[in-house]
A and B are shown apart, each in its own frame.
Chain A
Amino acid sequence: MSGKERLSLERIDGWRWKIPRTGAMRTDGIIYAGEKMLDAIRQDQAMDQVANVACLPGIVGYSMAMPDIHWGYGFPIGGVAAFSMEEGIVSPGGVGYDINCGVRLMTTHLRALELGADKIRELVTALFRNIPSGVGSSRKDFKLSEAELDHVLLKGAQWAVSKGFGEASDLERIEEGGCIPWADPEQVSAKARERGRSQLGTLGSGNHFVEIGVVEEIYEPKTAEVFGLFLGQLTVFVHTGSRGLGHQVCDDFIRVLLKSTQKYGIELPDKQLCCAPVTSSEGRSYLGAMGAAANFAFANRQMISHWVRETFEQFFKEPSERLGLSLLYDVCHNMAKIEEHVWQGRRLKLCVHRKGATRAFAAGHEAVPDLYRSVGQPVLIPGDMGRYSYVLVGTQRAMEDTFGSTCHGAGRVLSRHQAVKSAKGRSVLKEMEDRGIFVLGASKATLVEEMPEAYKDVSDVVEVVAHAGISRPVARLRPLGVMKG
């Protein structure tokens, strides 16, 4: 709305707030948030972005934002919006630059207490040696040819498993089986390929990480058992995305779709919301390229978890099956998906945009793997590196209210610049060690920017989605050792 209309915020209940339709908005906006989060949301202009998304053609239901909402480009981070396949649009701004940035959680048979701080330190150091992170680093034993890149872009994690990175049983524990079927590598530019080719199997920098943790609280024992979680268990989180390839795909298609927005006569409140009808040639091209970038990200996380397994095998001198290193689940944070949902009693095929939001499908849904179908889809919510992370489960309420979506993480509160200022004269590493967390990073600057106080307390975010009923807490994990990119 860019300040043209004054937006009001009406309380629906303690956890949901409505931005009533006004001006060019085609529907209401709904923000999931606790009362104490509202000031920050107002300051951040994220409300305007929720209202802007509500102006886009073919929107079905509401323009929604999860409680980890903050300002993004075009759509807010935490934004969820579904569009009709016939009259609706697809927008790269509704997916983000890091296409299929996501997180996966691996479980083990190991008990964290038996390891002790020294072993955790050695284990993180070993992970750091085996998993490339930071600028320009890659494994000496892995080179990707141009032709092979096409297979990665077509097959995602399935390609990785076929090349010996991980196990076939991993695939059923990845959203979409680790492969977006409509991916079209021909839509990926030479530049995007060039940026991506040397970056497959690398962690990247910023908020990406590999984290060793321990299950410290279980809220729902039966679901935790189905997920294979137990108290005191050692776990491994992997958080990364489609690297330069995905960033370039987004960049390329913002340029393309800025033109098609004019061509199709779509009025935009913000250039970064540029879009095209889902079924137009430009819309289909973007979805094909986005799918290919998403597959790159699936393959990337699959390769990194293979190297996690290798590192554990070398470190404990036992095969990974004996260590019980299995994939619990892998979720996407930045995606547009074609899904079927029931809205107001009608079954509709929709293009669901989740930007900094997680799919959270309920028990019984056919997209939930067989082994979890009785309880619902695992939802993985990493927090900051100093506090805790959560495992949640999807609910029927999410299917009805949010097209099966929930939050994705903590969300920043301090800018990088503010974080650097506040860290002056302090040693973030030492402070983390005092909390019992060993951190190793490729860049000193990243460690400071990523310090815990730069983020919201993820418990506040989880509290909102739990009370709103769009997912239920299953377990809480605490970090012990973190490798940052």
Chain B
Amino acid sequence: MGGNGEAKDQNLYEIIDHTADVGLRVRGRHVAEVFEKAALGFYDLMVSLKAVEAGAVRHVSVEAEALDDLLVQWLSELLYLFEVEGFLGKKVQVVIHPQWSLTAAVQGDFFDPKRHELKLLYKAVTYHQASVDFSDGTWTAQVIFDI
């Protein structure tokens, strides 16, 4: 798919740029960290995180047969929360349980067109080139969204 990574924020995520769609790549020392960064990147591409408050909390749990699948399901759950109640995350805490499930607490806010400028709206989180890998002491996760 010929994506070329561009650093958006050295500490958070890189954008994977593509003709019709967009994705992100994150790195971290722990697997939970890349899941947290992926979620923050997911929200940051939609609206500027600066404008999001952290007053409300949502708890998420998902299960999957593989880590890449878990990543897709995790972000899909966040997309679902956005679509049905406009929930936007600001702070994310993830716990990953082996083979494989995830529980998370997401502190955030509800979409308000007066305060949040929507930059992007996802149709879905895709499995295409979705990956969670560990090498040389670093976890890397990437995912592509259908826009």
Contacts and interface: CB of A to CB of B under 8 A. Distances in A.
A45 B2 contact: yes
Contacts of B105: none
Contact of B118 (A134, A247, A250): A134
Given A71-B1, A413-B19, A443 B127 contact: no
A171 to B, nearest CB: 28
Contact of A97 (B15, B80, B146): B146
A198 B84 CA distance: 8
Interface in B119-133: 119-121, 123-128
B128 A205 contact: no
B127 A418 contact: no
A69 to B, nearest CB: 11
Interface in B20-67: 20, 22
A135 B123 CA distance: 12
Contact of B1 (A45, A98, A418): A45
A349 to B, nearest CB: 30
A206 B17 contact: no
Nearest to A197: B84
A293 to B, nearest CB: 12
Nearest to A96: B146
A136 B121 contact: no
A426 B124 CA distance: 31
B128 A415 contact: no
Contacts of B76: 251
A71 B111 CA distance: 31
Interface size bracket, A side: 35 or more
Contacts of A430: none
Interface in A244-279: 244, 247-248, 250-251, 254, 258, 270-272
Contacts of B127: 73, 254, 258, 271-272
A140 to B, nearest CB: 16
Contacts of A43: 2
Nearest to A98: B123
Contacts of B124: 97, 247, 250-251
A77 B118 contact: no
Contacts, number: 89
Given A251-B124, A445-B118, A445-B120, A134 B20 contact: no
Interface string B107-147: 00001010001111101111110000000000000000011
A410 to B, nearest CB: 12
Interface residues of B, number: 29
Given A134-B113, A206-B147, A416 B121 contact: no
Interface string A41-82: 001110000000000000000000000001111100100000
Nearest to B15: A417
Contacts of B22: 415-417
Contacts of A444: 117
Contacts of B119: 443, 445
Which has the most chain A C-beta neighbours within 10 Å: B83, B113, B118, B125?
Answer: B83
Which has the most chain B C-beta neighbours within 10 Å: A98, A206, A254?
Answer: A206
Nearest to A258: B127
Contacts of A373: none
A418 B2 CA distance: 14
A73 B130 CA distance: 12
A198 B83 CA distance: 10
Given A72-B20, A97-B146, 16 more contacts: A43-B2, A44-B2, A70-B19, A70-B20, A71-B20, A73-B127, A136-B113, A194-B80, A205-B118, A251-B125, A272-B127, A414-B19, A415-B19, A417-B17, A443-B118, A443-B119
> Which 10 residue pairs spanning A and B have beta carbons closest together?
A417-B17, A445-B119, A247-B123, A97-B124, A205-B121, A97-B123, A97-B146, A415-B17, A73-B128, A247-B124
Interface of A: 43-45, 70-74, 77, 97-98, 134-136, 191, 194-195, 198, 205-206, 244, 247-248, 250-251, 254, 258, 270-272, 412-418, 443-445
27 contacts: A45-B2, A70-B20, A71-B2, A73-B127, A73-B146, A97-B123, A97-B126, A134-B113, A135-B86, A135-B111, A135-B121, A194-B80, A194-B84, A198-B84, A205-B121, A247-B146, A251-B125, A254-B127, A271-B128, A272-B127, A412-B19, A414-B19, A417-B17, A443-B117, A444-B117, A445-B119, A445-B120
